[in-house]
A and B are shown apart, each in its own frame.
Chain A
Amino acid sequence: MSEIPADLRYSKSHEWVRAEGDLVIVGITDHAQAALGDMVYVETPETGDRLKAEEACAVVESVKAASDIYSPTSGEIVDSNSNLVDNPELVNDDPYGDGWIFQMRTDNASALEELMDAEAYETFCEEE
């Protein structure tokens, strides 16, 4: 069974979101990393990129395939995880910690309320 921390929010495309005010950290879930397999490359967004909600903004490539990462909300990229350039396996080893992918400042914090909580995401994974 994959790990689903109770204090995060989740998207249907398997990103997790940690929000503190209008600052939002995004990564992919344990369930997603396990399904994708060993990561070999991560392409992160550029600081300053402006995103719409559900816009493809990063790519994780595993030994198996490439997968888009979608922005959970609209806003601007303020940071991305440069450690992933040389250590993409951090996404496998610590998906909710050192494997975070980018940080953004949202202009629509209330939209985050519409994402799933841990319980709903667990049900979502089981049904998928």
Chain B
Amino acid sequence: MMQQTELNQIHRDADGKMVDFAGWDMPLHYGSQRDEHHFVRQDAGMFDVSHMTVIDLRGKAVRRFLRHLLANDVLRLKAPGKALYSCMLREDGGVIDDLIVYFIDEQYYRMVVNAGTTEKDVAWIESRLVDGIDMRVRDDLAMLAIQGPNARQKAMQAMSEEMAWIADEIAVFVGAFCDDWFIARTGYTGEDGFEITLPETEVADFWSALVRESVKPCGLGARDTLRLEAGMNLYGMDMDESTSPLESGLGRTVAWEPAERGFIGREALEQQEAKGVERRFAGILLEDKGVMRAHQKVLTTEGHGELTSGGFSPTLNRSIGFARIPKGDSVACDVEVRGKRLKARIVKLPFVRNGKICIEL
């Protein structure tokens, strides 16, 4: 039996094409994945991301605990509500999950982790939990991502006046509580917007209010092409327990300083760093016609690598992807697509940010 979010019937009534995503029955699209993609880039779209898991950690020891648990350093979070992206690593440097952690106050942090990894994440955290920390998996909460250049304005129109007043003040990569709603200015599309965590008993009404403000329901298909254009990694595709953040384009999310902070996986990453990381992670733009897909072979003058994600970019009208390839300076490469060698180019990520194309076509 697949798990369902509170909005399952609403998705079905809206002609959502439902698929199994990590054991959850979720909408892939509601008619046209491409239209939904453009809507987010140009106006405002919304995603039901209630399958993701909110974990609240409270207690006197919580900051010290998270500084040990995560590769990024929560000490960087000074202002209440501030968010931090981090990997959670195994001792050998493999990535257990990537997540967002919010600093609510000295004794309260909120983490949002992936749906497919929730069980192992919770088990991992529990096995390392120390006295003085209360961990709660918040399966009473729903989560919506409202994204696009007009997303904040439209979302605020769907809120009470008091809540909109609070939401309007929220800075980029910060979240704030309004009663039991948590409104964060974060996302996974490369556009401005909110990710809102709220009691699941209230999510259907808010979804309807957003529909009335002409925010377009979007499925996981558009979410994937949007994050790909935005150069954002997807756990399980671009990194997993067999790869380190240093070869997944996530080196900048590992906080080396201060040197005495002994986070889980640090020693392994230091050894990799000392030995030299042999593979780099880069964007790939297909010059020829066709569509690249994950796991296809990438051939460079330094050797060959593999696409970790690939697909079609509606904004660029070209195929794009991410690849793990041998270290080097080569720009031109070939990609083996269905038995043919196609011309492609290695580019710096992201491809698109805030509606603008960031690379030369």
Contacts and interface: CB of A to CB of B under 8 A. Distances in A.
Interface of A: 37-38, 40-41, 43, 59, 61, 63-66, 85
Contacts of B314: 63
Counting chain B CB atoms within 10 Å of each CB, the highest count among A63, A64, A66 belongs to A63
Interface of B: 17, 28-29, 32-34, 221, 225, 289-291, 293, 311-312, 314, 319, 338
Contacts, number: 38
Contacts of A40: 34, 291, 312, 319
Nearest to A35: B17
Given A63-B221, A63-B225, A63-B311, A37 B290 contact: no
Q: Does more than half of chain B's interface fall in helix, strand or loop, or is it mixed?
A: mixed
A7 to B, nearest CB: 28
A82 B311 CA distance: 23
Given A38-B32, A38-B33, A38-B34, A66 B293 contact: yes
A41 B290 contact: yes
A37 B33 contact: yes
A61 B291 contact: yes
Contact of B312 (A43, A59, A63, A85): A63
A26 to B, nearest CB: 20
A37 B221 contact: yes
A61 B290 contact: yes
Nearest to B289: A41
6 contacts: A37-B33, A40-B291, A40-B319, A63-B33, A63-B312, A64-B221
Contacts of B28: 37, 64
Contacts of B32: 37-38
A63 B34 contact: yes
B312 A61 contact: yes
A6 to B, nearest CB: 26
